[in-house]
Amino acid sequence: MAVAVSRAAGRGSPRSKRPWVARVKDRHRRRTARFNAGLADPDRRPADRVGVAIDYLRGAMHDAPAEAVAREVDALIRHAIDAVARLHAAELRNQP
């Protein structure tokens, strides 16, 4: 009778390095630096800053898992709805 032996048995080498992890972390670092620089410019109009944030979000959505994207988009939409309500209330308070 033959005894089943695991193929992994006897392998003492650790799991191979994952070089893509360093590349992804590098890409995230570059994107974050570009995003922060775009938002830090005091001469930018608020609408331009929103555009920078949306561009950054689109870039991050491209590579992220679908369930994480859906969760973050839902949260962003809730925040946007709240922000619009606050802006409308501020506009009404500012009327002469």
44-89: per-residue pLDDT in tens? 888 888 888 888 888 888 888 999 999 999 999 999 999 999 999 9
Residue 16 lies in a domain: no
- The total domain count for the chain is 1
Residue 62 lies in a domain: yes
Residue, of 28 and 73, whose pLDDT is higher:
73
Q: Is the pLDDT of residue 31 over 90?
A: no
Q: What is the mean pLDDT of residues 11-29?
A: 76
Residue 35 lies in a domain: no
Whole-angstrom distance, CA of residue 49 vs CA of residue 35: 10
Residue 15 lies in a domain: no
Domain with 82 in it: 45-96
Q: What is the mean pLDDT of residues 24-29?
A: 87
Residue 10 lies in a domain: no
Give residue 90's region: left, alpha or beta (phi > 0; psi -120 to 50): alpha
- The pLDDT assigned to 44 comes to 85
Residue 81 lies in a domain: yes
Residue 87 lies in a domain: yes
Tell me the pTM: 0.60
Closest listed residue to residue 57, CA positions, set 84, 77, 87, 81 = 77
- The pLDDT assigned to 89 comes to 94
Residue 52 lies in a domain: yes
On average, the pLDDT of the chain sits at 82
